[in-house]
Amino acid sequence: MPYVDTLRCNFLTEPAAIELTTPILSWMFRQSGCERGQSAFRIRAASSREKLLDGECDFWDSGVQESSSLHTSYLGLGLSPRRRVFWTVAVRDRNGNWSAEAAPACFTAGIAADAWHGGWIGGFHRLRGRLSLPAGAERVTVYAASPAMFEFHLDSHRVDAPLLQPADTNHPARIGYATYDVTSACRKGGIREFEFLLAPGWQVLGFPRRPDEEYDLRLAARIFLDFPDGSAREFSSDATWEGTDDSPIRTSHLYHGEHYDARRELAAPHWQPCRLEPDETRRISPPAAPPIRVVREHRFQTVETIRPGIHVLDFGKNLAGWCRLSFTETVPAGREIELRFGEFRKADGSVDLSTMRLARSTDVYHSRPGKQSWRPHFTSHGFRFVEVIGWDGVPTRDQIVAEEVHNDLAAGGHFHCGDAAVQQVFDAMVLTQAANFHDKPTDCPQRDERLGWLGGGHASLPGCAYNFDVHAFYRKWYRDILDGIDPTTGESLFGQTPNVWARCTGMPMHYAHYSIPWKLFLYYDDREVIAESYPLLKRNLSYLRTWKHDGLFTDELNLNYGDWLASEFTPHEPVDHALYFAALKRMKFFAEELGKSTDAAEFAAEAEEVRDTFNREWLSEAGHYLQNPHASQALNAMALVLGLAPEEKRSSVAAFLLWNVEHERGSIMATGGYVGMQFILLALEQLGRRDLVLAIFRRREYPSWGYMLEHGATTLWERWEWRMSPEMNGHNQFAQAACVYFLYRTVAGISWPMPEHGDRVIHLIPDATDCDVDCAFETPWGRAALQRTGRDVTVEIPSGVHAVVDSAGWCDTAGKKRFGSGVRKLVKSC
């Protein structure tokens, strides 16, 4: 019989606050056996869990919906501020069997925009209000919004909550708020103290730097008490609240680190009236992605005393987070312990901070008397090595522990390969991905940047989908990107979120506007994001046309990053044209999906014009794109993959690309950058040369990922080169991990379930390469897996998905080359 679980709202598990717009409900269909799938669903929603369990649905009964979709819009009642909605779903399989209803889930509407009018206070790094609460509330909820980062304390105790709140946004347009359920602590009422610690937080991102006093430390708090009789009381921050800068946190900066004086925990702060501040004019939103948490701990592998009182810890891998200090024995007051975080060591053994640029990446802790434990509040570091100065004796592995900190995304994939070199690359790519999930896909987690660059971010979505559940994460980031587009003119000049630094006029960045909704549809069947973004994308496309002169994109402002950090240069203009052509193809699909046939025809016609221009300008007489010395692997691969190459020239373009990759330099080598590398691998895959893809992953010479590992890397570098100038030499660069999905689909031989003629289809290539593999990944339809040892191949196909065996002579044991869900062995006997 079928069953259903993993109920989510807006692709989050029981969110405590959602926007007051139509939410999306989703679930997982489960069923053992073969050829299984959902044929219908029914959702019921109620105002309480008890009503739902008793069969009542006073908010919504969807009725039986004949659909295989695993998500739908919520069309019921209850979308008023702070209202909780309890819901469940039952599903029917293809044989007419109904599941039991899933265990009820809950989502809660956020507060209305006008609730944030008034009550903004500031002037200090600590703000508190002492409130007399009535007893008997059945629910007590605190909402807090600020452009700054904050931590909430109730009666002098930190409230357990996600870290680095509120979630980062595209803060020129939007700020976030956080929600806290403090019912158990406040049910009895009485005088309670609500306190917020504040620091600049996400505001420091980008360039140029600002003095600390210029950062916005305003905050607004709303406290709601709901009573069993349906009544409610509201309290707000106001002029009666107090503030102080007396705090154990002397300074805390996302880039520079935190200075904490534990002796001040024992001192009575000098509180004074806070300052009333103007209302916030930007949009204020609840979190839309899984929260940032400590996701795992790491003990250092080695410790070396390089000078008396100075020790260097090696945690064995590059990660994002901080160190937790634990003093299990009494220590004297005032001992200063300094922690310096870095990716490298100097020749004298000390930690090298040069690649951090202006980021000081240093935490300082002053001890108080007695046993104590501490972790920083408002900073984060990217590091492998930590230099410890001032520790009494040699620290033990339990006294200084690295805490890995990033968005808590469910791990979705694993890949185990009999080839150690390939496995090393996979492991480094996954570590690189994880370290850069910080409410956006950051370029790097360590230096004075940490921005959500559009080019590397959108290109990395497929690889992230195989390894993590990134649906909500990327949806949230896409909202940030759209916040940077002028809603009237469609103008967009920024290449990163938040929009605080570099202006960009190249398609490698701006293709993200079109690529992300396309990929969210491909990987998560998310059609809603297409409808939501389409009007703005049309205006943006009109704006992008203004970049062309005489039909050609130009780089007059030198704001185009092109195929960034490729080992061999490709001119920017043809790359722009190729990606603009891709954007038009995406818009044509979006228009068709939305029933806008006139728009679709216009996009198709313009795409043909761009194709003609591309071939007229850059297709050489030799039958490939660009002449030497700029005959680019990347551009020829893009022409093949995107369909730019004329049909009669595809064979010559393919022949050039294969020769260039395999023979031109005396060994198999790919020369692409953040744009080109994926297109090169995609083209090789389409041409049936998986052996070349595998060889690129196995390569250990420059330029390659293996070259990085040969030089001790545990995550992937910004550049292909080893230790270039410190200004651009990060060793944990998100975009370099984008190609990890080729290890699943090309090396292992199992693809993501892609849409084909109304179905979701996994393509299997059991003899893809000579590597023994054991891999699996979670999809919205369930688990997909492939194990291969020699010619012994077993696959698992999720419910509602079909598989097609593409390898000649291979089929399942029943002789089928196309089959449905379940676990099967594949044999070479057809």
| Domain 116-239+274-285: top CATH class | mainly beta
| pLDDT reported for residue 558 | 61
The vertex-459 CA angle with 577 and 765, nearest 5°, equals 105
| pLDDT reported for residue 504 | 79
Ranges in the chain annotated CATH 1.50.10.10? 413-748
Fold classified for 3-108:
Immunoglobulin-like (2.60.40)
Distance of CA 38 to the CA centre of its chain: 29
| Domain 413-748: top CATH class | mainly alpha
Mean pLDDT by 10 residues, the chain (830 residues): 95 98 96 88 98 96 96 94 97 96 98 95 98 97 98 97 97 96 96 98 80 85 97 97 97 96 93 97 98 98 97 98 90 91 96 92 95 96 98 94 98 95 98 98 95 96 98 99 96 90 83 99 98 98 90 73 92 95 98 98 98 96 83 95 98 97 92 97 97 97 97 96 77 97 98 95 96 97 97 96 96 95 90
User: 3-state SS of 507-567?
Assistant: HHHHCHHHHHHHHHHHHHCCCHHHHHHHHHHHHHHHHHHCCEECCEECCCCCCCCCCCCCC
- Tell me: cis bond preceding 166? Omega within 30 of 0 counts: yes
- Tell me: cis bond preceding 498? Omega within 30 of 0 counts: yes
Q: Burial, 684: exposed, middle or buried (Cβ in 10 Å; 0-12, 13-18, 19+)?
A: buried
| pLDDT reported for residue 498 | 93
| pLDDT reported for residue 556 | 61
- Give CATH for domain 292-407: 2.60.120.260
Rg (CA), the chain: 28
The token pair that represents 49 in the structure block: 């869990």
| pLDDT reported for residue 10 | 98
Compute the distance between CA of residue 556 and CA of residue 629 in angstroms, rounded to an integer.
23
The answer to whether the beta carbons of residues 270 and 264 sit under 8 Å apart is no
What are the pLDDT digits (tens) for 607-618? 999 999 999 999
Ranges in the chain annotated CATH 2.60.40.10? 3-108
User: Across the beta sheet with 272-273, what order do the strands follow?
Assistant: 157-158, 149-154, 190-199, 126-133, 242-244, 272-273
The correct CATH number of 754-828 out of 2.60.120.260, 2.60.420.10, 3.90.1150.10, 2.60.120.40 is 2.60.420.10
The token pair that represents 108 in the structure block: 């809660």
Ranges in the chain annotated CATH 2.60.420.10? 754-828
DSSP string, 234-292: EEE--TT-EEE---SEEEEETTTEEEEEGGGGGSPP--EE-EE-PPP-SEEE---SPPE
Its pTM surpasses 0.75: yes
| pLDDT reported for residue 33 | 81
| pLDDT reported for residue 209 | 65
Ranges in the chain annotated CATH 2.60.120.260? 116-239+274-285, 292-407
- Round to the nearest angstrom and report the end-to-end CA distance of the chain: 33
What are the pLDDT digits (tens) for 202-248? 999 976 566 666 899 999 999 999 999 999 999 999 999 999 999 99
| pLDDT reported for residue 557 | 59
